[in-house]
Amino acid sequence: VRLWVEDNGIGIAHEHQEKLFKVFERIHPGTRYPGTGIGLAIVRRAAERMSGTAGVVSAEGRGSRFWLELGHPEGSTLDRPNTNGE
């Protein structure tokens, strides 16, 4: 399952995008955009614990598309075909 959240903000330069997912890393000073710099790091770590990940597709001046992908662990019941005829 992949969920997307899209905005029409200022966008994020490619060289700064991975910083968003590191704890306490900020692209802009807190006086311009409030926050602690941990939100997206928590999202990615939580997704990875559920066999998924999170990321961003963005370009300066064009907004951003953040995505969260959740998988399922190998060996889970989702990997097994239904043999009960249902």
- pLDDT values of the chain reduced to their tens digit, one per residue, 86 residues: 899 999 998 898 999 889 888 888 777 666 677 777 888 899 999 999 999 999 999 989 899 999 999 986 665 555 555 555 55
The whole model's pTM is what?
0.69
The upper half-sphere exposure of residue 64, i.e. CA atoms within 13 Å in the direction of its Cβ, equals 14
CATH number (3.30.565.10, 3.10.180.10, 3.40.50.10860, 3.30.870.10) of 2-75 reads: 3.30.565.10
